[in-house]
Amino acid sequence: MSNSEKYILALDQGTTSSRAIIFNEAGMPIGKHQLTFNQIYPQPGWVEHDPLEIWHTQFEAAKGAIAAAQIRPEQIAGIGITNQRETTIVWSKATGQPVHNAIVWQCRRSALICQDLKAMGYEAEIRKRTGLVLDPYFSGTKLAWLFENISGLRGKAERGDLLFGTVDSWLMYKLTGRHVTDATNASRTLLFNIHEGRWDDAILRMMNIPASILPTVLPSSGDFGYTKKDLFDVEIPVTGCAGDQQAALFGHACFQPGASKNTYGTGCFALMNTGSVPVESHHNLLTTIAWDLGNGFTYALEGSVFIAGAVVQWLRDEMLILADSAESERLARSVPDTGGVVLVPAFVGMGAPYWDPDARGGVLGITRGTSRAHFVRAALEAVAYQSRDLLVAMEHDSGARIPFIKADGGASANSFLMQFQSDIIDKPVILPEVGEVTALGAAYLAGLRVGYWKSLDDVEQNWRRKREFTPEMARETRNRLVQRWDKAVNVVRSFS
């Protein structure tokens, strides 16, 4: 079969839904399917998923995408997987059945374990080896929590009866029977030495985790195995894998050091390619592996904004200020500015570059003339200010100037937000023609391995811009607004 008759299947397993998309050689989606699944909240601050529900919805989404594209499984040249990162799953080696619900990346149950590790003086060493901060966000302490709290689990692990993996590993196991992961997902566990490219024995001892439970780490564009024949009636190679934010960086073709993207979703995730050298952050960013094409790691700096699109959901659902999210753009444009109002949406503390869990949200500068429109505009501006904080920190850490930002995610459809983002960072913001960049990144990683795309040049040629926003704001205005934002952040961080 020629490439014109073959396609790449991307599995995009997210926090609230499982999606699958079929891509053609031009990097265009020709069929997709999506299924939601249940969120489980055993107690405040805890979040779980059913691993079997993750698998079933992802498999059904794959079959649905193939049907939507009106192709046959034998026309799929390769499968790429991208996934919610840090979510922790443990299953039986003998039966393949989960021994506990998946502990989701959002879950904070291992906070005390993090505190204990800090008290023992391990924080700096863990950061040096993994590039990550010691936080319940990451998988390692979730795994430690399971061993400490589920009776008999540690003994089974030490006997070699259990397997651990993030969501990608779980899907790989169900698809191929192999216990594998890729370097990007491994780098988010808090257990992987990103400099030496291996599971870190010293950290495993710190957390009392047996090495036998860990998957084999392969390149992101690599040979993960073939699908079991009874799944699609044909064995399909699985040849690509990356955590969702790294996949988005790859899907945006950010292949040169300094190239950066920002995903505007419930939160914001900004990543900058730093090339073959890991950059140590002095501004509370994360150092992580961007991808591995089989010839060494490419690294990235990453920063997270916890509340981005979620602030608009809050205005809609809790404050009842908006009828729907789309109304936010019209209201923001209906006033020339915020009337002096600054909203800092630190609803769950503040992420990078602050990492301040005690900060709480605040609205400052209200007058009798403050209107609903001012409030909404201030909320959208807050998303851009928080992203600016990340990008400035990245420039300081890397010593490189970011020339422009490539943007994706649901909130990137808000043209007011994108224009204000460009204005407040004084850089162009570029939207891609294909918005499905996370799934596309996984597809590219898979397709490169099987020769569907020959090189990174092929991928770059596929990338096309849909729209570009360029700065229009005067420098004096920008400086004044940023100073006011910084003052507001200091106020909410001191109010607890």
The pLDDT value recorded for residue 435 is: 86
3-state DSSP helix/strand/coil percent for the chain, to nearest 5? 40, 25, 35
For 14-95, list the strands marked E by DSSP. Answer: 17-23, 29-36, 48-49, 76-83, 89-92
Task: Set out the domains of the chain in order of their start, with CATH numbers.
Answer: 3-235 (3.30.420.40), 253-432+464-496 (3.30.420.40)
DSSP state of 285: P
Helical H runs in 252-324? 309-317
Measured in whole angstroms, the distance separating CA 269 from the mean position of its chain's CA atoms is: 6
Q: Dmax over Cα atoms in the chain, in whole Å?
A: 69
**Contact present, 344 and 489 (Cβ < 8 Å):** yes
Tokens found for residue 1: 């079969």
3-state secondary structure 102-168: EECCCCCCCHHHHHHHHHCCCHHHHHHHHCCCCCCCCHHHHHHHHHHHCCCHHHHHHCCCEEEECHH
The pLDDT value recorded for residue 2 is: 56
Q: Which residues pair with 7 in a beta bridge?
A: 76
Tokens found for residue 130: 């993994």
Dihedral sign computed on CA atoms, order 112, 212, 293, 65: negative
The three-class DSSP label of residue 376 is: helix
* pLDDT under 50: residue ranges of the chain: none
**Contact present, 240 and 426 (Cβ < 8 Å):** no
Angle (CA) 140-182-352 rounded to 5° is 55
**Contact present, 243 and 168 (Cβ < 8 Å):** yes
The pLDDT value recorded for residue 156 is: 92
Burial 413-442 (b: 16+ CB within 10 A, else e): bbebbbbbbbbbbebebbbbebbbbbbbbb
The pLDDT value recorded for residue 494 is: 83
Measured in whole angstroms, the distance separating CA 285 from the mean position of its chain's CA atoms is: 14
Number of other residues whose CB lies within 10 A of the CB of residue 382 = 25
State how far the Cα of 24 lies from the Cα of 356, in Å rounded to an integer.
44
**Contact present, 58 and 13 (Cβ < 8 Å):** yes
Number of other residues whose CB lies within 10 A of the CB of residue 149 = 11
What is the tens place of the pLDDT at every residue in 139-149?
999 999 999 99
